[in-house]
Amino acid sequence: MEMLPAILSAKQQKTAGEIQRLESQTQAKQIETQAAAQEADRKEQLARAAAAQAARAGGAGIEFEGSPLTVLQEDIRREEEAGQRAGFTSQLAAFSERERGSIARSMANRAANISLLKQTMDTASSAAKAGAGGGA
């Protein structure tokens, strides 16, 4: 019966570690979802800007080539680079969050196992002392 509290405590520690891991996975998914939404918004804004430029140029009777087209292409290139940087940053954040959860779970499991081992050794030591004292 001496081991029951230690076993329950170890189980609680392991459960807490698993909860931290699952929370980290959820947070990582939220980071990825937010990044995807931001990328979609960025592309939508770029499409609107391109359409507005084309409409202004067409309304002014300007053919959409040469300098306005070059400016638009450069805007698109910059926006794609920004999207790639944001995507990489969000992937890194999501990976870090998942790793944080895995580490928390591992640490909780180790702490639980150490507690159980210590309790087992203490119980064995107490039993050995009681046996040695009883035989004298």
In tens, the pLDDT along 88-130 reads 888 898 999 999 999 999 999 999 999 889 888 888 888 888 8
Is this structure's pTM higher than 0.85? no
Convert the pLDDT of each residue in 9-19 to its tens digit.
889 999 999 99
Return the amino acid letter for 114: I
Distance CA(35)–CA(23), nearest Å, equals 18
Asked if residue 64 has pLDDT above 80, the reply is no
CB 12 within 8 A of CB 132: no
Q: In the predicted model, what is the mean pLDDT of the chain? A: 83
pLDDT band (50, 70, 90) for residue 136: very low
Domain boundaries, the chain: 26-100
Whose tokens are 């570690």? That residue is: 17
In this prediction, residues 71-88 reach a mean pLDDT of 81
Predicted local distance difference test score (pLDDT) of residue 22 = 92
